Homo-oligomer: A and B are copies of this chain.
Amino acid sequence: MLKETKEKLEYVLSVLKIQQIYFNACAVLSFDLETVCPPKGMNNQGETSAYLSNESFKLSKEPKFIESYEYLYQHIDELDEFDSVLIKGLHKSFVQEKNITPEMNLEWSKAFNNSWVNWLNAKEKDDYSVFAPSLKEVRDINLKMIELNEERKPVAYDNLLDTYETGMTGVDLDKYFGECKERLIPLLKKIQASPKKIRTDFLSRPVTDEQQKAMAEYLLNVIGFDFTRGALSTTEHPFTNGLAKDDIRVTTHYYPNAFISSMYSVIHEGGHALFEMFQPAENYDHYISGKKTMGMHESTSRFYENRIGRSREFVHLIFPKCKEIFSNVFYDVTEEEFYEAINCVEPSFIRTEADEFTYTFHIIIRYELEKEIVNNGAKIEDLPKMWNDKYEEYLGIRPSTYKEGILQDVHWSSGFGYFPTYALGNMYNAMYYNAMVKDFNVGEAIKDGNIQKINDWMTERVWKKADRLEPKEWIKEITGREFTAKDFLDYLEEKYSELYNL
């Protein structure tokens, strides 16, 4: 590396170090906002966050900083693999953001924060009109961002999707989701026509928060979550927040009559956390740990939640503890009944509580609506009806409140394009599961409680290069195959045909 290149790189890293401090502060503020902050304190805290993130944004607009990484972009062959990923990413953001002023950025941060507060209130009051103006504003901001990007893709939605899942387009998704609809709609009909009766009465037996907390901590320990580098809290909507290299937090929500909800959201968020915890330490030194896409992330979380968590072997592993902690629930339940109950297919309103099979429809519905909102200028006031119509069309059910309909998810309070990553995640992990079983007996590892063996494979094959590759390259590197929805659909067909004796 030439001296000038070295100096520029050091300068770039020194700016990123400060930006990381702002990021860390904002992450703590955001975590606090969702877990502890009292209602009347939220506005002030939102302003603090907006100010700090704008300070960081201003740093990214410093001419010397831009000049330095643009120089490095011209000399990319002198850099190692990590730094070259970093510099390419900076160059890309530069192009996307160069027409965004700090004033716009500050205004938008405030708008997103405000929108989140409005969403929370709207959901609590079950009043769409409280959130609708924010939703419109969020769309306008998203469109404005796209308009300001000189190298934008021609279809508006593709630009948003690209921020979460680099290289994926609406054309790709239409194909994958088309295949899903083609195979899953008839399969759902067969399942619904099956005479198989699955017992689910015990799932709504009352439990205390303390029982659920004990179970949540047990499950996180089982999958290998490191409590010296992470924490568990409660929030309205569960999430994972990687605040720093050694500070990865997951949250859950305890419902007194739905212990399954917290159990599986904890495994899901725990899966996200493992990805953050077991990525290469160099990612932090090179400031590229945020490069992994949301689809990659969701592949991991849904891998632990569904492929591991809802397998017969995992049920076998945790069943004794379930009987111990939830003795008032499981006194008359068999292991097989529990397995069947957590895999029972039943169209329902709430995405996060949907069974593994119908889940994909929840995503397809949001994806189709997002395209209407972003590409086709759908009227904001028409969205609840469009939402409900789609639920009726694909799942045969119609929400009767906003809470169980369009207001259920937080995501649209800050933008569009995230939802498809959940479904892509399922497709990725079905592919790498099929690679994993070639290397060792995964079911046996689960049954033995040897999740470490799975985590080791994931570390080496799935997590290691995630920050350095685009999704399509990444899944090919792991599996040796091109991306496809087929593995996922085969898996669903096989698992649910067996369960429902089809």
Chain A contact residues, CB within 8 Å of chain B: 18, 21, 24-25, 28-29, 31-32, 35-41, 44-45, 47-48, 51-52, 208-210, 227-231, 233, 243-247, 249
CB of A286, distance to nearest CB on chain B (Å): 17
- For the complex formed, measure the closest distance between the CB of A17 and the CB atoms of chain B, giving whole angstroms: 10
- Pick from B21, B51, B208, B247: contact of A38, CB below 8 A: B247
B35 near A48: Cβ-Cβ < 8 Å: no
Asked whether, in the complex, the Cβ of B228 is within 8 Å of the Cβ of A39, the reply is: yes
Could you give 9 example pairs across A and B, Cβ below 8 Å?
A18-B51, A24-B44, A40-B228, A40-B229, A41-B244, A44-B244, A45-B244, A209-B210, A210-B210
CB atoms of A247 and B40 under 8 A apart: yes
- Contact yes or no, A47 B32, CB < 8 A: no
Question: A311 to chain B: closest CB distance in Å?
Answer: 29
Q: Which of B18, B32, B48, B228 contacts A32 (CB 8 A)?
A: B32
Residue of B nearest to A43 (CB): B246
CB of A31 within 8 A of CB of B29, answer no
Q: Which residues of B contact A246 (CB under 8 A)?
A: 38, 40-41, 44
With A24-B45, A32-B31 known as contacts, the answer to whether A38 contacts B210 (CB < 8 A) is: no
Known contacts A48-B24, A52-B25; A35/B38 CB under 8 A: no
A321 to chain B, nearest CB (A): 21
Min Cβ gap A3→B in Å is 28
CB pair A41 B210 closer than 8 Å: no
Nearest neighbor of A55 in chain B, beta-carbon distance: B55
Alpha-carbon gap, A111 to B326, bound state (A):
46
Residues of chain B lying within 8 A (CB to CB) of residue A36 = 31, 35, 231, 233, 249
- Closest B residue to A36 using CB positions: B231
**Complex Cα distance A28/B48, Å?**
10
A37 contacts B210, C-beta separation under 8 Å: no
Complex CA gap A249/B36 in Å reads 9
**Please, which residues of chain B bring their CB within 8 A of the CB of A249?**
36, 38
Q: Could you tell me if A48 and B29 are in contact, using CB atoms closer than 8 angstroms?
A: no
In the complex, the answer to whether A231 meets B28 with C-beta atoms within 8 Å is no
Q: Cα distance A245–B40 when bound, in Å?
A: 9
Residues of B within 8 A of A247 (CB): 37-38, 40-41, 44-45
Q: Closest residue to A47 on the B side, CB-wise?
A: B21
Q: Which 9 A-B pairs have the closest CB atoms?
A: A41-B247, A40-B246, A44-B244, A24-B48, A40-B229, A21-B51, A38-B231, A41-B246, A40-B228
Give A210 to B209 CA distance when docked, in angstroms.
9
Task: Say whether A37 contacts B245, CB under 8 Å.
Answer: no
What residue of chain B has the Cβ atom nearest to residue A227's Cβ?
B38
- Chain B residues contacting A231 (CB-CB under 8 Å) are 36-38
Q: Which of A18, A228, A246 gathers the greatest number of chain B CB atoms within 10 Å? A: A246
User: Least Cβ distance of A246 to chain B in Å?
Assistant: 4
The complex places the Cα of A21 from the Cα of B35 at a distance, in Å, of: 20
Residues on the B chain within 8 Å of A24, using CB: 44-45, 48
| Interface pair B229/A38, CB less than 8 Å apart | yes
**In the assembly, what is the distance between CA of A47 and CA of B45, in Å?**
20
Residues of B contacting A245 in the complex (Cβ-Cβ under 8 angstroms): 44
Q: Complex: how many Å from CA A292 to CA B473?
A: 61
Which residue from chain B places its CB closest to the CB of A208 in the assembled complex?
B210
Chain B minimum-CB-distance residue to A245: B44
**Chain B residues with CB under 8 A of A28:** 28-29, 32, 45, 48
Complex CA gap A247/B231 in Å reads: 23
Q: Which residues of B contact A29 (CB under 8 A)?
A: 25, 28
Distance from A192 Cβ to chain B, minimum over Cβ atoms (Å): 42
Question: CB-nearest residue of chain B relative to A35?
Answer: B36
Q: How far is the CA of A247 from the CA of B39 in the complex (A)?
A: 8
Q: How far is the CA of A230 from the CA of B51 in the complex (A)?
A: 23
Residues of B close to A18: CB separation below 8 A: 51
Q: Find chain B residues with CB under 8 A from A208 CB.
A: 210
A23 to chain B, nearest CB (A): 9
In the bound complex, how far is the Cα of B40 from the Cα of A10, in angstroms?
27
Output the residue of A28, A29, A246 with the most chain B CB within 10 A: A28
| A243 cross-chain contacts in B, Cβ below 8 A | 41, 45
Whole-angstrom distance between the Cβ of A24 and the nearest chain B Cβ: 5
Bound-complex Cα distance A29 to B210 (A)? 27
A52 to B48, CA, bound (A): 12
In angstroms, Cα B35 to Cα A37, docked, is 13
Question: CA–CA, A316 to B52, complex, Å?
Answer: 49
Question: Closest CB-CB distance, A58 to chain B, in whole Å?
Answer: 13
Smallest CB–CB gap between A422 and chain B, Å? Answer: 27
